[in-house]
């Protein structure tokens, strides 16, 4: 009988991390599927238990990208996965999106526009992935929804997944986060309409980012990454991690 970490999961069975999910198993335009045990999208590893750390190591995680702002990451540091796991803190959006002032003052589309335009961050992120050790790359922000969702989308598009599978990977975050008592109670009892736009994972929110990709780059994620300064060699190396 296979051990749990040898299996292919949709949502990983972790104790203290509720939104850790695979990018494996999606169909591509080449008629193949994205590979399991290559990329995990997740919420922050702050609550990861010792059992979670053991699972992630045995699952193959050898690199972690923290997409939170520097102050966010320092204030709530990830669990330590081991000296042989390389890490990077590169944020496509430095403001703490959980802050009240963010929820009340700007629409989610503004936040996604700022991330769309952060070319330097995406260049650095992709260069890190391309040179990461062999194994699985885990990437996360605070709750694994917005910054994480866009990186997941870029990776999936680069592999040849379509818009609808990108959206299907994005939408489950809010439901997964309801496993957290605080999130569940806040959503049900205290959340304002403007806050819901940020805490939710609506298809229309990611759709705004995808529409910009369509309008400005004819939907071609390689052209977008090239605009960000990512070389063709780096794109190919990252794509190979998800497919080969």
What structural domains and CATH numbers belong to the chain? 4-235 (3.90.190.10)
pTM: 0.94
Instruction: Identify the CA nearest to 66 among candidates 33, 34, 41.
Output: 41
pLDDT tens for the chain, 244 residues: list them.
899 999 999 999 999 999 999 999 999 999 999 999 999 999 999 999 999 999 999 999 999 999 999 999 999 999 999 999 999 999 999 865 555 445 456 788 999 999 999 999 999 999 999 999 999 999 999 999 999 999 999 999 999 999 999 999 999 998 898 898 877 776 666 677 767 667 778 889 999 999 999 999 999 999 999 999 999 999 999 999 999 9
Residues 235 and 222: their CA atoms lie apart, in Å, by 8
- Euclidean distance between CA atoms 115 and 108, whole angstroms: 11
């Amino acid at each position: 009988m296979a051990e749990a970490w040898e299996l292919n999961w949709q949502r990983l069975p972790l104790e203290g991390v509720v939104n850790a999910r695979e990018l494996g198993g999606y169909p591509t335009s080449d008629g193949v599927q994205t590979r399991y045990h290559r990329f995990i999208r997740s919420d922050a590893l702050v609550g990861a238990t010792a059992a979670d750390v053991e699972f992630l190591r045995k699952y193959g995680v050898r690199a972690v990208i923290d997409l939170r702002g520097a102050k966010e990451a320092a204030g709530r540091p990830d669990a330590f996965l081991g000296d042989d796991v390389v890490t990077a803190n590169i944020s496509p959006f430095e403001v703490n999106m959980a802050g009240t002032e963010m929820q009340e003052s700007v629409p989610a589309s503004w936040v996604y526009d700022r991330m769309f335009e952060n070319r330097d961050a995406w260049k650095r992120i992709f260069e890190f992935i391309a040179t990461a050790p062999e194994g699985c790359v885990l990437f996360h922000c605070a709750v694994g929804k917005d910054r994480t969702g866009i990186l997941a989308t870029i990776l999936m598009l680069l592999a040849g997944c379509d818009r609808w599978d990108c959206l299907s990977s994005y939408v489950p975050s809010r439901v997964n986060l309801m496993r957290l008592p605080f999130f569940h109670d806040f959503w049900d009892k205290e959340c304002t309409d403007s806050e819901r736009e940020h805490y939710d994972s609506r298809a229309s929110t990611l759709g705004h980012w995808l529409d910009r990709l369509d309008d400005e780059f004819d939907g071609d994620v390689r052209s977008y990454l090239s605009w960000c300064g990512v070389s063709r060699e780096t794109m190919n190396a990252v794509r190979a991690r998800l497919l080969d």
